Amino acid sequence: MNSCCKSSCELIKKYDPKPKNNDGSIKWFLYRWDDGKNGYRKLVRCRECGCFYLVQCYRLNKFSDHADTEYEDWYAADNEQQADQLNKKYTGVQLEHRMNEIYRCSSERE
């Protein structure tokens, strides 16, 4: 990931966190524990170098006394079509296991 990409990305599209089957039923939630409220994906492109990234955003709910943690995992994509295919093919956990994130950031929320 180029240093310019962390600060100059533009949103290309935000994906539905509940991909649908052809009949309109929900194919899967982004994560097994998610009901479509705590995770989503977006496609961004760096304004300076033109690189595409599929960004997977999700929140792990607090357990015991710990605060909720929000994560963003960035995956390189060759183009918009590849990002669309990855989004349609993999759940959140599958994407984490099949692709190597090139950048991850996290923050705690109360």
Task: Compute the distance between CA of residue 72 and CA of residue 57 in angstroms, rounded to an integer.
Answer: 4
Q: Residue 110 pLDDT more than 60?
A: no
Q: Does residue 68 contact residue 23 with C-beta atoms inside 8 Å? A: no
Tell me the whole-structure pTM to 2 decimals: 0.84
Tens of pLDDT along 13-57?
999 888 888 898 888 877 766 666 778 899 999 999 999 999 998
Using alpha carbons, select from 95, 83, 96, 73 the residue that is nearest to residue 51: 83
Range of the domain at 32: 3-109
Q: What phi and psi values does residue 12 have, to the nearest 5 degrees?
A: -95, -45
Counting the structural domains of the chain, the total is 1
In which band, very low, low, confident or very high, does the pLDDT at 91 lie, cut at 50, 70 and 90? Answer: confident
In which band, very low, low, confident or very high, does the pLDDT at 63 lie, cut at 50, 70 and 90? Answer: low
